[in-house]
A and B are shown apart, each in its own frame.
Chain A
Amino acid sequence: MQIALRARKRRSRFMVLVFAALCAAFALSLVPLSAATADEVGTDEYDFIFSGNVKNDGVPLEDVLISVSGNGYEAEVETDAEGKWRIGVPEKDTYEITLDESTLPDGVIVAEGSATTEVEFGLTSNKSVNFFLGEGVRVTVSFWDQLADRAVNGLNFGLMLALAAIGASLVFGTTGLSNFAHAEFVTFGAIAAMVFSTYLSMPILIAIPLAVILSGALGFVLDLGLFRPLRRRGIGIVQLMIVSIGLSLALRYTFQYFIGGGTYQLPGAGAAEINLFGAVSLTVTDMVSMVVSVVVLLAVAYWLQRTRVGKATRAISDNASLAAASGIDVDRVIRIVWILAAALAGLSGILWAYFRPGIKWDMGAGILLLIFAAITLGGLGTAFGALVGSLVVGMIVEVSTLWIPSDLKYVGALIVLILVLLVRPQGILGRRERIG
Chain B
Amino acid sequence: MDWGQILSNTAAYLISPETIAYALAALGLALHFGYTGLLNFGQAGFMAIGAYGYAISILSFGAPWWVGILVGIVGSVIFAFILGIPTLRLRADYLAIVTIAAAEIVRLLFTTQAFDEYTNSADGLGNYHAGFRAANPIPEGTYGFGPWVYNETQWWVRIFGILLVVVAALIVWALMRSPWGRVIKGIREDEDAVRALGKNVFAYKMQSLVIGGVFGALGGVVLALPSAVVPSVYVTSLTFFLYTILLLGGAATVFGPIVGSVIFWVIMAFLSNALPQMVNAGLLPFMTTTQSQVLRFILVGVALMLIVIFRPQGIFGNKKELTFVK
Interface size of A as a range: 35 or more
A436 within 8 A of B: yes
CB distance from A417 to the nearest CB of B (A): 5
Using a CB-CB cutoff of 8 Å, which residues 199-237 of chain B contact chain A? 236-237
Closest to B292 in A: A257
With A249-B297, A405-B113 already in contact, the answer to whether A421 and B98 are too (CB < 8 A) is yes
Residues of B within 8 A of A415 (CB): 105
A245 within 8 A of B: yes
**A241 CA to B92 CA in the complex, in Å?**
11
B114 engages A236 (CB within 8 Å)? no
With A411-B108, A422-B86 already in contact, the answer to whether A239 and B116 are too (CB < 8 A) is no
A257 engages B104 (CB within 8 Å)? no
CB distance from A279 to the nearest CB of B (A): 24
With A241-B96, A257-B294 already in contact, the answer to whether A411 and B301 are too (CB < 8 A) is no
**A162 CA to B71 CA in the complex, in Å?**
41
CB distance from B116 to the nearest CB of A (A): 7
A417 engages B97 (CB within 8 Å)? yes
Residues of A within 8 A of B120 (CB): 120
A236 engages B126 (CB within 8 Å)? no
Residues of B within 8 A of A90 (CB): none
Residues of A within 8 A of B63 (CB): none
Residues of B within 8 A of A239 (CB): 308-309, 312, 324
B93 engages A178 (CB within 8 Å)? yes
Closest to A434 in B: B91
Specify which of B101, B237, B325 is in contact with A236 (CB 8 Å cutoff).
Answer: B325
**A237 CA to B302 CA in the complex, in Å?**
19
Closest to A172 in B: B93
Specify which of A237, A408, A417 is in contact with B93 (CB 8 Å cutoff).
Answer: A237
B300 engages A421 (CB within 8 Å)? no
A373 within 8 A of B: yes
Residues of B within 8 A of A178 (CB): 93, 96-97
Interface size of B as a range: 35 or more
A246 engages B324 (CB within 8 Å)? no
**A118 CA to B113 CA in the complex, in Å?**
11
A376 engages B105 (CB within 8 Å)? no
Closest to B85 in A: A422
B94 within 8 A of A: yes
Please, what's the 1-or-0 string for A163-200, where 1 marks a CB less than 8 Å from any CB in chain B? 00000000000000010000000000000000000000
Residues of B within 8 A of A257 (CB): 287, 291, 294-295, 298
**A31 CA to B236 CA in the complex, in Å?**
53
B101 engages A436 (CB within 8 Å)? no
B98 engages A418 (CB within 8 Å)? yes
Please, what's the 1-or-0 string for A222-263, where 1 marks a CB less than 8 Å from any CB in chain B? 000000001001011111011101111111111011001000
B247 within 8 A of A: yes
CB distance from A17 to the nearest CB of B (A): 14
B303 engages A118 (CB within 8 Å)? no
B320 within 8 A of A: no
**A248 CA to B300 CA in the complex, in Å?**
11
**A247 CA to B116 CA in the complex, in Å?**
36
A414 engages B304 (CB within 8 Å)? no
**A376 CA to B97 CA in the complex, in Å?**
9
B112 within 8 A of A: yes
A421 engages B94 (CB within 8 Å)? yes
**A232 CA to B77 CA in the complex, in Å?**
41
A365 within 8 A of B: yes
A253 engages B109 (CB within 8 Å)? no
A354 within 8 A of B: no
A249 engages B304 (CB within 8 Å)? yes
Q: B90, B92, B93, B108 — which one has the most chain A CB atoms within 10 A of its CB? A: B93
A123 within 8 A of B: yes
Specify which of B94, B295, B300 is in contact with A436 (CB 8 Å cutoff).
Answer: B94
Residues of B within 8 A of A123 (CB): 126-127
A369 within 8 A of B: yes
A410 within 8 A of B: yes
**A376 CA to B87 CA in the complex, in Å?**
14
B39 within 8 A of A: yes
B102 engages A418 (CB within 8 Å)? yes
Residues of A within 8 A of B304 (CB): 242-243, 245-246, 249
Residues of B within 8 A of A384 (CB): none
Using a CB-CB cutoff of 8 Å, which residues 135-157 of chain B contact chain A? none
Residues of A within 8 A of B297 (CB): 249, 253, 256
**A410 CA to B254 CA in the complex, in Å?**
37
Residues of B within 8 A of A414 (CB): 101-102, 104-105
Residues of A within 8 A of B300 (CB): 249-250, 253
Specify which of A118, A253, A373 is in contact with B294 (CB 8 Å cutoff).
Answer: A253
**A376 CA to B94 CA in the complex, in Å?**
9
With A236-B324, A435-B91 already in contact, the answer to whether A230 and B98 are too (CB < 8 A) is no
A106 within 8 A of B: no
B86 engages A238 (CB within 8 Å)? no
Specify which of B91, B101, B116, B324 is in contact with A417 (CB 8 Å cutoff).
Answer: B101
Residues of A within 8 A of B295 (CB): 253, 257
B100 within 8 A of A: yes
Closest to A121 in B: B127
Residues of B within 8 A of A369 (CB): 97, 100-101, 104
Using a CB-CB cutoff of 8 Å, which residues 402-416 of chain A contact chain B? 404-405, 407-408, 410-411, 414-415
Closest to B90 in A: A436
Q: A118, A373, A414 — which one has the most chain B CB atoms within 10 A of its CB? A: A414
For the A-B complex with A239-B324, A410-B104, A421-B97 known, give 16 more contacts whose Cβ atoms are closer than 8 Å: A123-B127, A237-B325, A238-B92, A246-B301, A246-B303, A246-B305, A252-B301, A372-B101, A376-B97, A404-B114, A405-B114, A418-B86, A418-B101, A421-B86, A421-B94, A436-B90
Can you name 28 A-B residue pairings with CB atoms under 8 Å?
Answer: A123-B126, A230-B309, A237-B92, A238-B325, A239-B308, A241-B93, A242-B308, A243-B309, A245-B240, A245-B304, A246-B301, A247-B305, A249-B297, A253-B300, A256-B294, A257-B298, A369-B97, A369-B104, A372-B97, A376-B94, A408-B112, A411-B109, A415-B105, A417-B97, A418-B87, A421-B97, A425-B90, A436-B94
